[in-house]
């Protein structure tokens, strides 16, 4: 069975091309040209992924994203002409999984759709809830019950907060996480503006991770936006 994709785009030229490219990659497509129609199609068609334009008639893409998130964790890819980084952060904060700026390359978009669907089909790795969970990204092991991290078979000495930060990054390996998302998850909602302390923690974490193996970079910086833990599959 092929995955069904909902395309929400009021510019018919772009919508048609998207459909063409995605169908060629053997996905099934349904389309909507307004925010309200998008929600109707979402209920009706139950897509596996949503490509969502931001500037839409009736209800904009942000609102649609919010509504969809109230009922589903389906992967959402935002599509927009805006290049403002604040918008990118907003999109990720509001529950979008990826963000593509127009004009975009269709093959690249298809590749990103494939990546999002692959990520969504994997079982959730769970939250930091004290159960025995060991995450492995290459040579890095985390035991969230005992708060222990091992790198190349050696114990990694981390503070409690460093551990929490690392676990959150590893759980979302491959995903770009905004500063706010990280601050909220690791420190709590009242720490949203503590960008300097986040930077400091990231710096310390990198130093500890990359001490003996400086050639391998675990954490990528997306300037003005956030961080991504490199996925090693
Ligand atoms: Ca539009």
85 and 140 in a single domain? The answer is no
Ligand 1 center to 195 CA (angstroms): 33
Of the residues 106, 121, 136, the one at which a domain ends: 121
Residues 117 and 17 in one domain: yes
Report the domain count for the chain.
2
- Return the minimum-mean-pLDDT range out of 11-20, 126-135, 150-159, 184-193: 126-135
**Could you tell me which residue, 2 or 126, shows the higher pLDDT?**
2
Ligand 1 centroid to residue 169 C-alpha, Å: 33
Looking at the fold, whether 131 and 207 belong to one and the same domain comes out as yes
pLDDT attached to residue 89: 60
Q: Do 98 and 43 belong together in one domain?
A: yes
C-alpha 102 – ligand 1 centre gap (Å): 10
Backbone angles phi, psi at 78, to 5 degrees: -85, 145
Cα 171 to ligand 1 centroid, rounded to whole Å: 33
Report the separation in Å between the CA atom of 84 and the middle of ligand 1, taken as the mean of its atom positions. Answer: 16
**Residues 152, 47: Cα–Cα separation, whole Å:** 41
Question: What is the DSSP track for 184-196?
Answer: HHHT-GGGTT-HH
Same domain for 109 and 176, yes or no, is: no
Q: What pLDDT is attached to residue 17?
A: 96
Cα-to-centroid distance, 37 and ligand 1 (Å): 14
* 18 and 95 part of one domain: yes
**How far is the centre of ligand 1, averaged over its atoms, from the C-alpha of 99 (Å)?**
14
Secondary structure of residue 72 in the 3-state scheme: coil
Q: Which of 74, 98, 121 is where one domain is finished? A: 121
Structural domain range at position 193: 126-229
Across the range 110-114, mean pLDDT stands at: 91
Same domain, 135 and 171: yes
Among 121, 144, 175, which residue terminates a domain? 121
Residue 122 clears pLDDT 60, i.e. is over it: no
Q: How many CB atoms lie within 10 A of CB 148?
A: 15
| Residues 152 and 92 placed together within one structural domain of the fold | no
Quote the ligand 1 centre to 222 CA distance (angstroms): 26
Query: Are 14 and 109 within one domain?
Result: yes
pTM to 2 decimals? 0.55
Is 168 found in the same domain as 68? Answer: no
Cα of 46 to ligand 1 centre, how many Å?
22
Looking at residue 132, its pLDDT comes to 46
Strands (E), 144-206: 148-151, 154-156, 176-178
Are 68 and 151 in a shared domain? no
Query: Ligand 1 center to residue 105 CA distance, Å?
Result: 17
Same domain flag for 8 and 112: yes
C-alpha 33 to ligand 1 mean position (Å): 9
Task: Report cis status (omega within 30 of 0) of the bond before 92.
Answer: no
């Amino acid at each position: 069975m092929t995955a069904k994709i909902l395309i929400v785009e009021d510019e018919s030229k772009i919508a048609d091309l998207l459909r063409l490219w995605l169908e060629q990659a053997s996905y099934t497509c349904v389309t909507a040209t307004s925010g309200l129609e998008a929600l109707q199609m979402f209920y009706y068609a139950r897509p596996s992924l949503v490509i969502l334009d931001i500037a839409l008639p009736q209800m904009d893409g942000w609102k649609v994203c919010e509504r969809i998130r109230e009922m589903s964790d389906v992967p959402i890819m935002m599509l927009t002409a805006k290049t403002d980084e604040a918008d990118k952060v907003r999109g990720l904060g509001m529950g979008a999984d990826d963000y593509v700026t127009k004009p975009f390359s269709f093959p690249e978009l298809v590749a990103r759709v494939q990546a999002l669907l692959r990520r969504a089909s994997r079982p959730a790795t769970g939250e930091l809830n004290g159960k025995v969970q060991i995450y492995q990204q290459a040579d890095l092991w985390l035991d969230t019950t005992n708060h222990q991290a091992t790198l190349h078979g050696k114990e990694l000495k981390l503070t409690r907060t460093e551990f929490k930060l690392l676990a959150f990054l590893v759980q979302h390996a491959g995903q770009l996480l905004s500063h706010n998302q990280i601050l909220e998850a690791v420190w709590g909602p009242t720490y949203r503006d503590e960008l300097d302390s986040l930077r400091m923690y990231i710096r310390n974490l990198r130093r500890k991770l990359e001490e003996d193996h400086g050639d391998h970079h675990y954490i990528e910086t997306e300037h003005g936006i956030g961080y991504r833990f490199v996925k090693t599959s």
